[in-house]
Amino acid sequence: MSSITENRPTEYESLDRLWRRGRDFLGSKLAILGGAMTWVSERNLVSALSNSGAFGVVACGSMDSNTLDTEIAATQDLTDQPFGVNLIVMHPQLDALISVCSARKVTHVFLAGGMPRERIVKMVHDGGAKVIAFAPTLSIVKKFIRSGVDAIVIEGMEAGGHTGPVATSVLAQEILPNVREVPIFVAGGIGRGDAMVSYLEMGASGCQIGTRFVCTRESVAHSNFKAAFLRAGARDAQLSIQADPDFPVIPVRAITNAATQRFIETQRSVIARYRQGEISQSDAQLEIEHFWAGALRRAVIEGDIENGSLMAGQSVGLVTSEQTVSELLEEMLGQALDHIQLNNY
């Protein structure tokens, strides 16, 4: 980062002013969060992000408390810079996971996948960490603020993985002008530095980026998984299709593959069996939900890109080469400074 910032001090001063609140909150040089991607956001990528000036976030996913403890310790061995841990609110061992974060002195805990209760927020605070939650609407942002959440990520439908129904640009317009109490980080479809600056101008304290880091050299994702990202365009990252409103499917954005079509066929087959009285509705719903069990690991770790899940945001179209984390951050920082210079800040 130093060569760019030293050669362009005026532009960097303007950028620093725009995201200073986010930097101060995170304790990092750049107010860029690494999106927590299960199987991808582990010790190697997280430490590389933090060592390069951004803020890495470990994706706990379905880890148990012992596995998470090992992962945090391994990450701390690789970086002395701050990083966070993302926990799923619905995890059956949530209390134990929070205790691990507290014992390991994690400074920032992200609570995703649901509405964290005030007891959970207090437990994280009592352990010495700040709480960051994910909110899809202005009303939920305000509810989180009342419950003591320290910062919020608003994530639009362009994001990879589990996502909501509203575009990032609309969420930003709805929420950023109306919230001043806590830092707000914007996520979903962000892949360039000038796009980051546009949200900072609107009042964001920083941005979260996931998809663009999948193909970095420090990422442990299988070469097949990375190759799928390098081939894909924005239109290839599609939301999962729900075959019947009586059997809701949580929308997931991923690159379409053979498994995508089989998922649609499986839904229709299972629902037909239910309609014919062969299985109960609850069993049918469970069978549909279990279709993707283990599918993300099959793709990310094992490299089975036909039968696994290729979770990716629409910014996958901007992934055109394998770079180091530092090179990618430097590229995006340069784009941000170019934007600032062009607009004469």
Q: Encode pLDDT of 45-83 as tens digits.
A: 999 999 999 999 999 999 999 999 999 999 999 999 999
pTM of the model: 0.94
Q: What are phi and psi for residue 181, nearest 5 degrees?
A: -70, -35
Cα–Cα dist 257/162, whole Å: 17
Here the tokens at position 66 are 């012992």
Mean pLDDT of the chain: 95
Q: Using pLDDT thresholds of 50, 70 and 90, give the confidence band for residue 36.
A: very high
Q: Which amino acid is at 238?
A: Q
pLDDT of residue 293: 81
SS3 state at 208: strand
Mean pLDDT score, 85-90? 96
Closest-CA residue to 215 (of 321, 335, 84): 321
pLDDT of residue 2: 58
Ranges of each domain in the chain:
2-218+324-342, 223-314
Cβ(113)–Cβ(133) under 8 Å?
no
Q: Are 112 and 86 in contact (CB under 8 A)?
A: yes
- Per-residue pLDDT of 133-142, as tens digits, reads 999 999 999 9
The dihedral formed by the CA atoms of 280, 284, 287 and 288, expressed in degrees to the nearest 10: -170
Could you confirm whether domain 2-218+324-342 is CATH 1.10.10.10?
Answer: no
| Residue count (the chain) | 345
Residue 16's contacts (CB-CB under 8 Å, 6 or more residues apart) are: 23
Does 210 have pLDDT greater than 90? yes
Q: DSSP class of residue 267? A: H
